[in-house]
Amino acid sequence: MAIDTNFTRPKIGIVGGTGAMGSWFAHLVEPVAERVFRVGRGTDLTPVETARRCDVVVISVPIADTIKVIRELGPLVSENALLMDLTSVKEKPLKAMLQYSCAQVVGAHPLFGTEGTSAKGQRMVLCPGRGKKGLEWLTKVLERAGIKVVAMDPVEHDQIMGLIQGVNHFSTLALGLCLVKSGFGFEKILNCSTRTFEQRLDRIKSMVKQPPELFESLLMDNPWAKESSEQYLDTIQTMLRIIRSKDREAFGELFESLGTFLNSR
């Protein structure tokens, strides 16, 4: 039986609600909800019960598990309810939510981490799937929290994230491994570092403190990350040829093209 909801004070269930992103989203929506259910491995409330009883069902599980969870829970979500996810890959989860559910559907991707991060001034991508009321409700909740909503096609989102996340993490990990292979100890490298390079070292240290599965998924589960990383390698080879040949004119042209791109907004 369909839930009759107008999203005024919805009951919100977050599958994966005990994790970092799920907990963050729960905190965000608590002021506008009748009740928020945070569902995890150790909670009494099950994902199946959550899908059946809530007006908004949020999937916030690892990327590798997302499609499986959507396939299981999607048919249980009311056609008047909202089914959404918070993963960093959007095309396949959105297709799965549309395929396995009759509910309203939105794909969401917060473009920020959760640790020590204020929501105000941050961005979140929303990929509309089906229905208007759920999308309008979510947009208002985010905008009232000071989050800028970026509406985007899911395929375009994944292509851009293949570049922004894929190449970023690929190059950061590669730098870290290059330091390991350099033969210099970390203390010696740190003592000779500029402040800018120290910040890059801090980023590497921050990455390795997190579960490797997170970056594994970002690099392997987004089909565009591989292509973008290969493009990055091609660019490196081009730069290396210029440096080897000491082609100063070509090196200057690289800077000029980069400056033109950065000033094109």
Q: Please report, for the domain that includes residue 169, its CATH number.
A: 1.10.3660
Q: Is the pLDDT of residue 7 over 80?
A: yes
The beta-carbon contacts of 44-48 under 8 Å, at least 24 apart in sequence, are 45/13, 47/15, 47/72, 47/73, 48/72, 48/73, 48/76
CA dist., res. 152 & res. 187, Å (int):
44
* Same domain, residue pair 244 and 186: yes
The answer as to whether 6 is a domain residue is no
CA 208 to chain centre: 18
Using only C-alpha atoms, what is the Rg of the chain? 22
The answer as to whether 4 is a domain residue is no
DSSP annotation of 171: H
Query: What integer is the mean pLDDT of 124-136?
Result: 97
CA torsion angle 118 123 129 131 (round to 10): 70
* Same domain, residue pair 214 and 131: no
* Same domain, residue pair 160 and 219: yes
The per-residue pLDDT for 122 is: 94
Residue 5 pLDDT class (50, 70, 90 cuts): low
Query: What integer is the mean pLDDT of 63-80?
Result: 96
CA 187 to chain centre: 33
* Same domain, residue pair 44 and 117: yes
Query: What integer is the mean pLDDT of 189-209?
Result: 95
What are the residue ranges of helices labelled H in the chain? 20-29, 47-53, 63-73, 91-100, 133-144, 154-161, 168-181, 186-191, 195-208, 212-220, 223-244, 248-262
Q: Containing domain of residue 174, as a range?
A: 156-262
* Same domain, residue pair 181 and 53: no
Q: Is the pLDDT of residue 4 over 80?
A: no
Which single residue is written with the structure tokens 């096609």?
A: 153
DSSP annotation of 194: -
The per-residue pLDDT for 115 is: 65
The per-residue pLDDT for 116 is: 57
Closest residue by Cα to residue 23 from 32, 15, 31: 15
Percentage of residues in the chain having pLDDT higher than 70: 97
Q: Is the pLDDT of residue 236 over 70?
A: yes
* Same domain, residue pair 161 and 105: no
Question: Which range, 43-57, 114-128, 251-265, is most confident?
Answer: 43-57
Helix axis angle for 212-220 and 168-181, nearest 10°, is 120
* Same domain, residue pair 111 and 53: yes
* Same domain, residue pair 39 and 127: yes
* Same domain, residue pair 132 and 45: yes
Q: Is the pLDDT of residue 2 over 60?
A: no
Q: Is the pLDDT of residue 253 over 80?
A: yes
The per-residue pLDDT for 1 is: 40
The per-residue pLDDT for 152 is: 97
Percentage of residues in the chain having pLDDT higher than 90: 86
Q: Is the pLDDT of residue 212 over 50?
A: yes
More confident of the two residues 264 and 76: 76
The neighbouring-strand residues paired with 148 are: 123
Query: What integer is the mean pLDDT of 151-170?
Result: 96
* Same domain, residue pair 105 and 184: no
Q: pTM for this structure?
A: 0.88
